[in-house]
Structure 1
Amino acid sequence: MTTPGASRPDDAFIVGSEFGSDLNEASVKAITTGGAKVSFTNVQNSINNPVGNVLPTGAPLWATFTREADSTFPRIMLARKASGVNLSATTFSSGSHTHSVSGSSTSSAGSHNHSVSGSGTLQYAVPDYQPAGHGANKTELGFVECSKDRTYNNFSFITGDSWTLLGIQGFYLVVYKMTPGSGLLTKVAQTGDIKAAVGGTNTEYTFGLNNSIVAKKADIFGLATLQVTSVAQTCNSLCQLTFWPLSAPAGFKPAALYATAGSSSSPLSSIAYGSLSFDNGFVPYYALS
């Protein structure tokens, strides 16, 4: 509408103006983005809320002692496993007794009673296993999937209940990244020789890697321990989870959570998928963080 010679109505658009009556670039942006800014600000305030983070991240303590870790399985699943029953001395007594046999003839001899008493206790074993020693020098792999876009700097594992008395030649932690499709494992980080720093049983250890690993969500990594031994030496045991053997779908890589690679006295730079030996019934505890 037009108002020749009179005042324009409130909020009327002024022909030829860029934004309209009483509006400029700043006020238009405020109007058009105000709702989005308020919503985004509320999200920011929630995330930074001093009462607590509303977005859960990291791993709980029952999963791993190492914060922000992706592990082969939650640590709390390392339950004691039954290894047998220890029976105490038993006693046996019998009074007068009778046995009878029916058939073509019958035999009997007095009434009788029998009693057996005793007790026993269930024995438990540490959920660990001992990698092949005596110069086998196998790469022991456990596979993990990256839970989110992140950077890894540390490798964790848990020692078992047995320790070699004769020592070992070397102990290395290695991380391989799996190539989708081919399954090729390529080394992306490792530690130096840690054998002198690992001396306790039933202990979770964490070691820094020689470089950071930039990972994307759903990347698959093969975490590996390599214990180098002579023909007279055995490997240190590692904690592991035993479970009912399950076969992966045809063509899925990796075919299991645990595998071994061929003999080497130093960390392999790459491992062809076809050279891996899988076991779908257990996996060692490893974690990246």
Structure 2
Amino acid sequence: MATNTLHSIPHNHHSLLKRHHSSDAAPSLFLKPTTTPTTKPISLSSSTLTFSLSPNTTTSSSFSAAASSTSLDLLRSHLAAGDFRQADEETRRLLIALAGDAAQKRGYVFFSEVQYITESDLKAIDELWRTFSDGKFGYSVQKKIFNKVNNDFTRFFIKVGWMKKLATTEVEQYNYRSFPTEFFWEIDGDTPEGHLPLTNALRGTQLLKSILAHPAFNDVLEEEEEEEDDEKVVEGVVGGGLMKGLMGGGEKGATSKGVFKPDYSF
């Protein structure tokens, strides 16, 4: 299946997060026959069939329309204006346009179609989200959180704020937020990291999982490995003598390193 390149089709609306446990070219050319009569010294006449190359203007127009449907200009405009609600809708529309013709006709993306979206396209979308949210939103941000909760979708949904705690129960329980009124469309002190963009979980979690597992975000793992190495260096310094001296040495100093160790648990 051909993959569109980054460059808008009508907006598609959807329901979110109901359940998560269940998915240039130059114009093409065609041969145009023309006939050139030739005269022979006999009574019977014949014609020689020749071909000329003529641009297919219909194909050219189709290409232009496809390029326009995957432009990032509208997404950039919404994000720059701080309109995260419309930016979320535009992101969803872009994923459908980039996934191919079948997804566009259907109106949503199957998880198996995520592979048709190029790395550069997903990276560009993610970069816009991170840039205009000061690093708070984006797929790569969600990927880090997903990794830190050991790919547990319930914990991930709670961490990014797609589920809310029920205050009327004695036992700690969570329920899905109601779309769109209960989601965060502005950045403030209460907005969870990784809250946007939203991903439709109506047909299950496979679509979100496929997006986060896309090669476009493999560098997230490399960054996390570097962070872990840095932590080990810090822990080595803390447990190897520096903090022992500060804390009085001995076992007391050795056990105190836990206080200074970064806590990435949830």
TM-score, normalization by structure 2: 0.23
Q: Which has the higher helix share?
A: 2
Q: Please state which structure has a larger fraction of its residues in strand.
A: 1
